[in-house]
Amino acid sequence: MKQEELFKTLIKELFQVNTTHQEYQDNDAHFVVDSQRNGNTLTIKVQLLENKDKKEFENWLQQIDDDFFAEVLEELGKENEMIDLNSMYNSKDYKKVISKIKDKTRELAAKKIKEFQKLMS
């Protein structure tokens, strides 16, 4: 079906109801659609929402040293050779990637702190 035909079908369906409120979420796409009919006028509001978990995680990553983050990814790659973290991050399982990366970052940071403490002793 062509885009124009889809659009016409959508409008006809929305004119059949007085008000609509639908929320859709699929991986990175998260939006809310509200429509309201007033006689022959149809008002449609579409609001794109950010994935807050990913946004917070990406802000957290900005604080991590690039070389250290490369070590984290290298270690995760050794442990999970069959897992494509990028593909998983762009899927509904993105929270698993966030958890894996944060856990490995904490683990390696704790290991480095212990190594530095030994050097300082």
pLDDT average, residue stretch 99-114 = 94
CA 13 to chain centre: 30
What stretch of H or E contains 27? none
pLDDT average, residue stretch 18-29 = 79
pLDDT average, residue stretch 99-107 = 94
- % helix / strand / coil in the chain, to the nearest 5? 55, 20, 20
pLDDT average, residue stretch 10-30 = 81
Query: Tens digit of pLDDT for each residue in 32-62?
Result: 889 998 988 989 999 988 888 888 999 999 9
Q: Which of 109, 114, 110 is nearest to 63 (CA)?
A: 109
Q: Which of 39, 38, 43 is nearest to 11 (CA)?
A: 43
Q: pTM to 2 decimals?
A: 0.62
Q: Which of 9, 54, 3 is nearest to 27 (CA)?
A: 54
More confident residue, 73 or 80: 73
* Contact (Cβ atoms closer than 8 angstroms) between residue 21 and residue 34: yes
For residue 87, is pLDDT > 60? yes
pLDDT average, residue stretch 3-16 = 87
pLDDT band at 15 (very low <50, low <70, confident <90, very high): confident
